[in-house]
Amino acid sequence: MRKMLLAALSRVLQGPAAATAVAAGRTGAVSEASRVMVASRNYADFASEATFEIKKCDLHRLEDGPSTTAVMTRDEGLHYYKTMQIIRRMELKSDQLYKQKIIRGFCHLYDGQEACCVGLEAAIKPTDHVITAYRAHGFTYARGVPVREILAELTGRKGGCVKGKGGSMHMYTKNFYGGNGIVGAQVPLGAGIALACKYFGKNEVCLTLYGDGAANQGQIFETYNMAALWKLPCIFICENNRYGMGTSVERAAASTDYYKRGDFIPGLRVDGMDVLCVREAAKFATEHCRAGKGPILMELQTYRYHGHSMSDPGISYRTREEIQEVRSKSDPITLLKDRMVNNNLASIEELKEIDVAVRKEIEEAAQFATTDPEPPLEELGNHIYFNEPPFEVRGPNQWIRYKSVS
């Protein structure tokens, strides 16, 4: 009711120009004048922030947990919305390009899980560190790599963020250590990064992510032990999307309480479909680590719409109904959108404008990714070593040599 009245009131205040703006929004072109009018109207019409009730986290070896209310500003909301939408559309574009055989090999998509990487990034600083497994495109973007460089890496072009040398599972940027292909191997690496954080004494933390499948890897338990023993500022994060490839959590784990699997390490179980829940939990976890209390574990309950990878249709081990139910009831982008609109942080039109801008950005990135040339053959031998004088690398036979520069 209140929503209807507000809408009616804003229509009256905006006048006929608004209708033009709305109509223009639908077709994707907004005139300068009306945009200015909308902008100045935004400032007057919308709340600058709102407070939200969020789900309480299940706690393990913790007296108190993260706050059950979260304050989100309009700007934050718009930023989270846009970022999640970019990741969503980028992953769907990757799906398209893979089916066109322009992307090859492995392609593990993140759509459905956007709230995890966006919520986590919102809680940490650019000087903190992140390492994850192979479902990494979302994190790669959140850590600052432009979409065009991600897509160009997927299509194996020289404009890819690692010049086409890595592909889907091996993208890196400052304070982001990939993209790791071997299940669970990134977890000790993350604790090592945390060790360096402690060693250098700059009060940085490392987010070390793994999935419900990886959670059963022995090396993770070795890492829990050492991280706790040495009080490393390592935040272990299990992104539990209920399936390790085709195996459901019930069939893989004797205990599916992943947030408790760290045993002596305190843990939280978090609603991974709610970006604010993830953010508040991550803030709590980073405070814990920065206070020198040692490692902490977060389980983010989330869901992936796609199969394990592009070669998995994703419906042999789960029902279409289940996927559809999550989409309709728990989609992270829809949840955020509803929150923003219902609390007067943004209008539907404004968010649609963002959608349009995002689509355009992804299209342009895809255009770049499909037209940029492949890396030159000379690149084949490069970067074997770091900071090394040039040397020769053997090709498929003794007469084919490549130069290797660092």
Partner 1 sequence: MAAAAAALRHLAPVGARLARLPPRDRAAGRLLQQRRGFRLSAPAAIQVTVRDALNQALDEELERDERVFLLGEEVAQYDGAYKISRGLWKKYGDKRVIDTPISEMGFTGIAVGAAMAGLRPVCEFMTFNFSMQAIDQVINSAAKTCYMSAGSIAVPIVFRGPNGASAGVAAQHSQCFAAWYGHCPGLKVVSPWSSEDAKGLLKASIRDDNPVVMLENELLYGVPFEMSEQAQSKDFVIPIGKAKVERQGTHITLVSHSRPVGHCLEAAAVLAKEGVECEVINLRTIRPMDIEAVEASVVKTNHLVTVEGGWPQFGVGAEICARIMEGSAFNYLDAPAVRVTGADVPMPYAKILEDNCIPQVKDIIFAVKKTLNI
Q: What are the Cα distances from residue 6, in Å, to 2, 12, 50, 327, 341?
A: 6, 10, 16, 28, 11
Least distance between partner 1 and beta carbon 312 (Å): 23
Rounded-to-integer distance, Cα 93 and Cα 280, Å: 30
Q: Which residues sit at the interface with partner 1, rule CB under 8 A? A: 129, 131, 162-163, 165-166, 170, 172-173, 177-178, 180-182, 185, 187-197, 199-200, 206, 218-219, 222-223, 225-226, 229-230, 382-388, 391, 393, 398, 406
Which amino acid, 273? M
SS3 of residue 207 by DSSP: strand
Based on CB atoms, which residue is closest to partner 1, 160 or 244? Answer: 160
Least separation, in Å, of the C-beta of 397 and partner 1?
9
CB of 406 to partner 1, least distance (A): 6
| Rounded least distance, CB 108 to partner 1, Å | 16
Residue nearer to partner 1 on the CB measure, 131 or 296: 131
Q: How far is the CB of 362 from partner 1 (least distance, A)?
A: 24
Nearer to partner 1, 115 or 191 (CB): 191
CB 81 within 8 Å of CB 290: no
- Residues 303, 125, 178, 337, CA torsion sign: positive
How far does CA 196 lie from the centroid of its chain?
24
Distance CA 187, CA 235 (A): 10
Minimum distance from residue 192 beta carbon to partner 1 (Å): 2
State in angstroms the smallest separation of the CB of 262 from partner 1: 14
Smallest gap from residue 194 Cβ to partner 1 (A): 8
Give CA 162 to chain center in angstroms: 19
Neighbours of 108 (CB within 10 A): 23
| 98 neighbors 254 (Cβ within 8 angstroms) | no
Contact 190, 155 (CB under 8 A): no
Question: What residue has token string 């793994």?
Answer: 210
Cα distance between residue 195 and residue 325, in whole Å: 42
Q: CB-wise, 271 or 372, nearer to partner 1?
A: 372
* Residue 80 or 139 having the CB closest to partner 1: 139
Q: Which residue number, 139 or 284, has a Cβ lying nearer to partner 1? A: 139
Q: Quick one: which H or E segment has residue 284?
A: helix 275-290
Q: Which is nearer to partner 1, 119 or 190 (CB)?
A: 190
Q: Angle at which helices 332-342 and 114-123 pack, to 10 degrees? A: 60
The number of CA neighbours under 13 Å toward the Cβ of 70 is: 25
As measured in angstroms, the least distance from the Cβ of 278 to partner 1 is 24
Least distance to partner 1, CB of residue 156, Å: 12
CB atoms within 10 A of CB 8: 10
380 near 402, Cβ under 8 Å? yes
> Cβ closer to partner 1: 52 or 221?
221
Q: Which is nearer to partner 1, 66 or 178 (CB)?
A: 178
- Dist. CA 237–CA 219, nearest whole Å: 15
Of 14 and 180, the one with the shorter C-beta distance to partner 1 is: 180
